[in-house]
Amino acid sequence: MAGAKGLVTEQRNERTKDIDTLSTEEMLRRINDEDKKVPYAVEETIPEITEAVDVVTNQLRAGGSLFYVGAGTSGRLGVLDASECPPTYRSDPEQVQGIIAGGKEALVRSIEGAEDYEEDGAQALRDNGVDTGDVVCGIATSGRTPYVLGALKYAKEQGIPTIALICNPVEHLEEEVVTDILINPIVGPEVITGSTRMKAGTATKLVLNMITTAAMIKLGKVYGNLMVDLTAVNKKLIDRSQRIVMEVTGVDRDKVTEVLEAAEYKVKNAILMTLADVDFQRSQELLEKHQGMLRQAINAVSSP
């Protein structure tokens, strides 16, 4: 592999060359100025993110899974996004999964050499049983991480839909990135040369947030802007569940608590049971009939 000289994210940032001479406040303002550029870089890629969301939604709706594949910061962010979907949207833990070079240990300790072998990325997909019903999103700030490229190549060969998230101009890369959809926010040189956990990491987090949030909305996990499919596993989420049902139905907390208990703390069911005056079993039938889309189920029982 050739040197990293041509990578934008490895270049020195002219605006922060003197950062070690600044006061604390000046230093933070300089970092903040650079961070402000990230959302604009992501905005430029919304058409490609749109494509990605539609593919992901279709695969998930049909019973497939989204697999993030990455190394280092990119891998950790993929695992983070995947791990946050079940508590937020009551999604099956298998629905969105993160694969990181080096395995679980790499989540808390840097294992840099784990990213150097293409075959390991391909093998990780085989080990996880990834097939054509799934979708693979390779995350590689540099655009040349062998582990990620190997996974993308394998997926493409198998006819599995692929997405690549890269923060360097692809025309400058030594090797073509094989993918169906390329999301390519260019955030420029980092505040600290090569520290891609900063702007590139922020861009990655924003894009992954957009992909899974939009997909979950399209799958009926959200009503208005309320997370009606959350898993109430602690006091905070129990309270949130109660407040959501109160917000939608206008019923007081005591009644909402009673209904939620009857609904096994499934927020969608509790809302439907209250608005349609049906029991838990009937609410389940209505939601299943409308593929979990609460608004459609409400409209169906509200229509004359």
Active site residues: 84, 115
Choose among 144, 130, 155: nearest CA to 177.
144
The pair of three-digit structure tokens given for residue 270, joined into one six-digit string: 């509790």
